[in-house]
């Protein structure tokens, strides 16, 4: 298939580009580098040995998006592009709604106009809200989320589902990720957050490489085994493989829309993750216990049964793999990607 990957220079997008090429697909990337660096494209070309066409445009620009689809032919789209910081979305809700909804609408308009019927959307476990029973299952309703960022995921799911159900042949796969971590085993591509990391794994990695003094563990009085929150961490390489399986499946779906959880089905606590990372690095890492972070749920993980049954996919990498690969990436690229 010839697949357009929006946000293909981003963390999950770049790993998916690599897996698509390895699976024999033709890939075209669209990315405006709002939260990624052009160097990623060079690294991807080094890893694949192939030229990967790039369109450096903002998808909220409808004319440019239309022009892209007029110029190129695609069989499918995987849509990652979007703002993704939970805290920032609370401070800048309008920017989040505008960017994350406009880009989807613009993309889907162009797809329909040019007869591209297969779309895989980058969604999140955040759409299960605060009340879904654990493990999370795809049938759960109503979808809700606790932040503007999360609500853009819920809204995009509704927009895409409505368009697909309107019945002109569009097929949509919604991939609900749990907590993506890790990096490509080569150490050449990985997560490169701008500023202070919001998420656990990149924060620990930056402590390990000396960019941060210590990890603050957000609360140790939760009703879990060691008192710290539990999450379903999934290796980004497994996640990327899930996208390849999904895009191939969605092209042949009978129903217009289908959601799949991409997770391992297992919870890992903050302290377990910290200790696993210490093992990968070979020494202890400074940390202290701080207050709870508002909005955090004590524990949740995926029921990944449906993705296994329908996509033939399951997560294979362990917490040890996630830590070893993150550490390889971070220690070989202590400041992340270079600018040029
Ligand atoms: C994991 C655990 C923290 C940082 C977020 C989004 C979610 C999804 C994935 C995209 C929690 C603890 C963290 C730190 C800590 N994004 N922690 N100290 O919150 O599960 O999910 O990213 O869709 O929507 O909400 O991930 O990595 O921020 O936190 O103790 O410095 O680590 O409290 O228990 P989270 P996270």
Percent of the chain scored above 70 by pLDDT? 100
Q: Can you name the residues that pair with 234 across neighbouring β-strands?
A: 180
What integer pLDDT is reported at residue 340 of this predicted model? Answer: 66
Q: Report the pocket of ligand 1 as residue ranges, CB < 6 Å.
A: 84, 86, 124, 126, 150, 179, 198-200, 203, 215-218, 229, 231, 270, 293, 296
Identify the residue whose C-alpha is closest to ligand 1 atom 19: 296
Task: Note whether 222 and 298 are within 8 A (CB).
Answer: yes
Pairing of strands 2-6, 26-30: parallel
Q: In what order do the strands lie in the sheet with 171-177?
A: 54-55, 26-30, 2-6, 76-79, 118-124, 171-177, 257-262
Quick one: which atom of ligand 1 is closest to the CA of 215? Answer: 31
Confidence of residue 315 (pLDDT cuts 50, 70, 90): very high
Q: Can you name the residues that pair with 261 across neighbouring β-strands?
A: 176
Quick one: which atom of ligand 1 is closest to the CA of 270? Answer: 32
**Termini Cα distance of the chain:** 31
Lookup result for tokens 């202070």: 196
- Name all domains of the chain by residue range, CATH numbers in brackets: 2-178+234-263 (3.40.50.720)
DSSP state of 292: P
Tens digit of pLDDT for each residue in 202-238? Answer: 999 999 999 999 999 999 999 999 999 999 999 999 9
96: enclosing H helix or E strand: helix 93-113
182: left (phi over 0), alpha (psi -120 to 50) or beta: left
CA of 253 to the centre of ligand 1 (A): 33
Question: Probe ligand 1: pick from 270, 273, 294, 323, max atoms within 8 Å of CB?
Answer: 270
Query: Residue range 142-164: average pLDDT?
Result: 97
CA of 267 to the centre of ligand 1 (A): 13
Tens digit of pLDDT for each residue in 4-48? Answer: 999 999 999 999 999 999 999 999 999 999 999 999 999 999 999
Q: Which SS3 state, helix, strand or coil, does residue 9 take?
A: coil
Query: Residue range 65-72: average pLDDT?
Result: 98
What integer pLDDT is reported at residue 49 of this predicted model? Answer: 97
Tens digit of pLDDT for each residue in 268-279? Answer: 999 999 999 999
Cα 202 from Cα 222, distance rounded (Å): 23
Question: Probe ligand 1: pick from 127, 134, 179, max atoms within 8 Å of CB?
Answer: 179
Reference 276, options 200, 176, 173; nearest CA is: 200
Question: Probe ligand 1: pick from 222, 231, 273, max atoms within 8 Å of CB?
Answer: 231
Residue 229: is it exposed, middle or buried by C-beta count within 10 angstroms (0-12/13-18/19+)?
A: buried
6: enclosing H helix or E strand: strand 2-6
Q: Can you name the residues that pair with 288 across neighbouring β-strands?
A: 216
Quick one: which atom of ligand 1 is closest to the CA of 126? Answer: 24
Reference 272, options 214, 202, 336, 201; nearest CA is: 201
What integer pLDDT is reported at residue 168 of this predicted model? Answer: 81
Identify the residue whose C-alpha is closest to ligand 1 atom 25: 86
Confidence of residue 53 (pLDDT cuts 50, 70, 90): very high
Task: Indicate the average pLDDT of the chain.
Answer: 97
Cα 94 from Cα 102, distance rounded (Å): 11
- Residue 222 among the catalytic residues: no
Quick one: which atom of ligand 1 is closest to the CA of 229? Answer: 34
Reference 320, options 272, 267, 261, 269; nearest CA is: 272
Q: Which SS3 state, helix, strand or coil, does residue 116 take?
A: coil
Identify the residue whose C-alpha is closest to ligand 1 atom 1: 200
């Amino acid at each position: 298939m010839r697949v357009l990957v929006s946000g293909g220079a981003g963390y999950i997008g770049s790993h998916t580009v690599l897996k698509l090429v390895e699976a024999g697909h033709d890939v075209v990337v669209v990315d405006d580098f709002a939260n990624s660096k052009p160097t990623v494209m060079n690294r991807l070309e080094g890893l694949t040995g192939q030229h990967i066409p790039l369109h450096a445009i903002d998808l909220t620009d409808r004319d440019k998006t239309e022009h892209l689809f007029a110029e190129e032919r695609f069989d499918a789209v995987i849509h990652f592009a979007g703002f993704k910081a939970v805290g920032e979305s609370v401070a800048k809700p309008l920017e989040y709604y505008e960017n994350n909804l406009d880009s989807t609408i613009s993309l889907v308009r162009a797809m329909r106009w040019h007869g591209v019927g297969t779309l895989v959307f980058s969604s999140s476990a955040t759409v299960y809200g605060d009340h879904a029973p654990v493990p999370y299952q795809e049938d759960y309703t109503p979808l809700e989320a606790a932040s503007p960022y999360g609500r853009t995921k819920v809204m995009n799911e509704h927009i895409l589902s409505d368009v697909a159900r309107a019945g002109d042949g569009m097929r949509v796969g919604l991939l609900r990720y749990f907590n993506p971590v890790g990096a490509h085993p080569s150490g050449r591509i990985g997560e490169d957050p701008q500023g202070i990391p919001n998420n656990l794994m990149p924060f620990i990695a930056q402590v390990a490489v000396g960019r941060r003094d210590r990890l603050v563990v957000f609360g140790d009085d939760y009703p879990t085994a060691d008192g710290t929150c539990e999450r379903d961490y999934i290796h980004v390489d497994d996640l990327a493989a899930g996208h390849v399986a999904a895009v191939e499946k969605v092209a042949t779906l009978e129903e217009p829309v289908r959601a799949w959880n991409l997770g391992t089905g297992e919870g890992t606590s903050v302290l377990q993750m910290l200790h696993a990372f210490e093992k990968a690095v070979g020494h202890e890492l400074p940390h202290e216990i701080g207050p709870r972070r508002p909005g955090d749920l004590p524990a949740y993980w995926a029921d990944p049964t449906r993705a296994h049954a329908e996509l033939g996919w399951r997560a294979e990498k362990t917490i040890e793999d996630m830590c070893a690969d993150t550490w390889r990436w971070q220690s070989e690229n202590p400041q992340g990607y270079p600018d040029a």
